[in-house]
Structure 1
């Protein structure tokens, strides 16, 4: 457990009244997450005797959120890859709305046809969408006159859903299929749609990304924010605008930098009136939190500096990878995909995907009238439209949130990569879809994507294993508490240098409670702060020189860290050096535990 997780543990264990008072002073940006963790600890027991007992409860929400986010990436990939229709191994398009999910080669047999007919001629007994059963038309009740109206009686089935036997003049025993026909919805393993492969690769790819794994096992809000943004993206593609606004506002209240997903979504859906209203609702919903956190910005983010070359280099690698993975459709001309047209393509227009109805939603039934004399849409065009839609969704999501935050940080240093963890979903979408497009390698050059993926798995595997060790974090609060427990005697003084390192022991009350804190004036709870309020420099000196203070356990940053210039911190260092002997120094992850004693007291 590192220092930020220690803060989560000790804040979430405060009473609700004290927690509310704290959020009015600091950390309002994490307020909703702290309330969630308060409820989690209340249900799970939470290890009231120390964070080590409640570590699983601390991290469980992040693990669950990462699994949910990976599922969301898979859902978005499936939605995007399937936007252009289903494509089998032969590259032929299969339109759900026109064929009921049956592949083209099986339609003739399923429809009871055995020979080609002149263009525009329809065999006797065949039906169009909305046609009533052939048996009704032969009964003389006039039903056949209503067949072209697009109306169906209750219980009628749309074209492509009814068994082939019902559309033939002869009857066939129940459950028997005509010779050579495929069952409705049947898919051979060789015809598995690219959308399913893209969903699998994208979801797994997101889950194995090392930064995603890092925050999946950390008791902070970033995994939950990523899940909210990813599922908001999916709801945007489904045009569920109320749900989109609610989920994205939830993500913004978990961490307000989730609002940077709006520019990425605007690149995709700015033409949609529903999205514009939803975006306005998200901004309005975030406004109260933004007003409170703006007053806390200096206290909250004052420790940050402007982005260094490492930050820009990491962003450059991300941008290069995203641009390399982005598909380049071979079909020229304007985009015809629904997403590419701002989620506003009307049914029946060139921009509406196959299988969309009057509502414009994929999967809705449409009334199709055959137009045998008109030009047929090229089979490659749906795949090209789906590729363009993928670029318009995934590329902005990968590049805009971190890019905008980096640019803002040139003026206001607010950039930390974990604040925009959700942008990695865009990279996973691009990588998963690219891998899904690679079928059975035939030529030597067809192997390179798989060889590259296999080569990357080796360092990713080592990185993933390293992330599960304490060395992957800046420090280890539980290791510090264990070292103090071994060296301190009950009643010894403990000194935090600097004072903000008090967070190392606040999550281990059984250790901290057995020691005296001579520098502390008001506790964190009493002062409505994270680390409490310390005494003045003179008061600290007097407390350390008190005859009752014989041993001091000092908790310090690692060697080489800059010293805090605050007067109180300077007095701590000077008094220990001049009035105490150094007995021992223990190095732990990200900290030093030094034991001081009055002259002659080391033993």
Structure 2
């Protein structure tokens, strides 16, 4: 591999050479300042007004299950997140389950990512470039968003950043272990291996080839098994115009930075990380939709490195003031919204509260589609006074995320045998309808035998109260 390290640190590129004590010491403030900024921004409003969105509700539920329950559930669904659920189970075993415990691992992971980005930038383009890259990362709104979510994406970012640093250090054994951990945390992290390969394409070291092959071999059993659960991503649609525009603009910004003298110092590493994983996943998604921006979140590492190097190259008092003003404006205009309930698609606690207010003891309950039962996982007691008319077995009892449903015929029988009101939780009007027999029979019986009495929209849900024969 061509040595892309900055002259001041190039001597430490080979693992057998140890940095001088002074050099090692100088890397400490470069790493600590970005980590401290990320910690401050990550802890700011971490509870988001007590709200919890759908995927976080799944994490919360899974982490509170026993290890045998988690293992059996992974055999039916969500095996791709198994390692993360096990980690969160351990966290909840130590700390009281709650919003802070749920999100703190993500905050700390992004702190590590910011520190590692600073060290990578320092190695490639010098201390100031590294410091600027590390400080820029926490200021990106997308980073602040996923630093405060109880999902695996921030941890994948930290592992990919660590793997990238180990790549530069040519520590192939550690590199393989870290990248395998990233891929087991989320399978699409394997795309960053392709980005690293593109950085080394002229003369890939044998050590990297062996490490990459070992990572792929270690991931293969999980990947093959997760194919059997591919139906869980059927909700993903082909990339729409907004997603395409966002990717193109980000890629163009990265390419523009890479063409400047400052960006040239980091482009061999940073540009592939920024463009390749997202670009490949988006291209595949026009054939088989899989693209979701958070699945390729490590692109922010490449973006921060390029921006930091360009700022370093053109640094001046005027640019310093302009950068500080831009950072302040970003914090004032974007960051507060990210800490509000409205910043996420759905708030399961709000749905649960509306359900509790709408339903009376003895009322029936229906979820259309049944996977919306996830909106009641956090506080199941809120619907304990309602009778779920279509559920055959609860999520825990069936070792699933959403429970299992009765047959269409049995659902019809139970709905028609219920003389009282039925509280129905549905998606908003205009959302695609599941073309499966169980969901179709629910909609058919509601249309033919029930009258909508009242309905409340909350986030992405509609909670309606239906009664037989118009007897509201």
Q: What TM-score, normalized by structure 1, do the two folds share?
A: 0.66
Counterpart-to-counterpart distance in 2, 1:475 and 1:245:
37
Partner residue, 2:93: 42
Partner residue, 1:79: 123
CA shift for structure 1 position 396 = 1.0
Matches within 5 A, 1:105-116: none
Partner residue, 1:246: 177
Partner residue, 2:109: 65
Counterpart-to-counterpart distance in 1, 2:323 and 2:105:
33
Partner residue, 1:397: 273
SS at match of 1:553: strand
Unaligned runs of 5+ in 2: 1-51
Matched, 1:422 2:298: yes
Counterpart-to-counterpart distance in 2, 1:485 and 1:536:
27
SS at match of 2:435: coil
CA shift for structure 1 position 22 = 1.7
Counterpart-to-counterpart distance in 2, 1:328 and 1:204:
20
Matches within 5 A, 1:122-521: 195=127, 197-269=128-200, 270-297=203-230, 299-329=231-261, 388-441=264-317, 447=318, 451=322, 454-455=325-326, 458=329, 461-521=332-392
Unaligned runs of 5+ in 1: 47-53, 83-194, 330-383, 442-446
Counterpart-to-counterpart distance in 2, 1:525 and 1:217:
27
Deviates more, 1:431-440 or 1:282-291: 431-440
- 1:413–1:262 distance in 2 versus 1, CA, 3 Å: same
- 1:601–1:58 distance in 2 versus 1, CA, 3 Å: farther
CA shift for structure 1 position 564 = 3.0
Counterpart-to-counterpart distance in 1, 2:103 and 2:383:
23
Counterpart-to-counterpart distance in 1, 2:118 and 2:295:
22
Partners of 2:452 and 2:464 within 8 A in 1: yes
- 1:400–1:535 distance in 2 versus 1, CA, 3 Å: same
CA shift for structure 1 position 540 = 1.4
The count of aligned residue pairs is 419
Counterpart-to-counterpart distance in 1, 2:108 and 2:361:
40
- Greater fraction helix: 2
Counterpart-to-counterpart distance in 1, 2:356 and 2:272:
50
1:504-544 deviation line (CA, Å, top 9, x unaligned): 01221221333211101122233332212211222112212
1:360-386 deviation line (CA, Å, top 9, x unaligned): xxxxxxxxxxxxxxxxxxxxxxxx8xx
CA shift for structure 1 position 410 = 2.7
SS at match of 1:559: coil
In structure 1, which of residues 545, 563, 571 is the aligned counterpart of residue 441 of structure 2? 571
Partners of 1:506 and 1:512 within 8 A in 2: no
In structure 2, which of residues 66, 70, 73 is the aligned counterpart of residue 19 of structure 1? 70
Structure 1 outlier segments of 4+, above 6 Å = none
CA shift for structure 1 position 452 = 7.1
Counterpart-to-counterpart distance in 1, 2:191 and 2:120:
19
- 1:64–1:456 distance in 2 versus 1, CA, 3 Å: closer
Counterpart-to-counterpart distance in 2, 1:586 and 1:599:
21
CA RMSD of aligned residues (A): 2.1
CA shift for structure 1 position 491 = 3.2
Partners of 2:124 and 2:265 within 8 A in 1: yes
Partners of 2:257 and 2:310 within 8 A in 1: yes
- 1:453–1:398 distance in 2 versus 1, CA, 3 Å: farther
Partners of 2:103 and 2:150 within 8 A in 1: yes
CA shift for structure 1 position 327 = 4.9
Partners of 1:550 and 1:601 within 8 A in 2: no
CA shift for structure 1 position 199 = 2.2
- 1:286–1:389 distance in 2 versus 1, CA, 3 Å: farther
CA shift for structure 1 position 448 = 6.5
Larger radius of gyration: 1
Counterpart-to-counterpart distance in 2, 1:257 and 1:286:
11
Partner residue, 1:100: none
Deviates more, 1:579-588 or 1:231-240: 579-588
Return the structure number with greater relative CO, CA threshold 8 A, min gap 6: 1
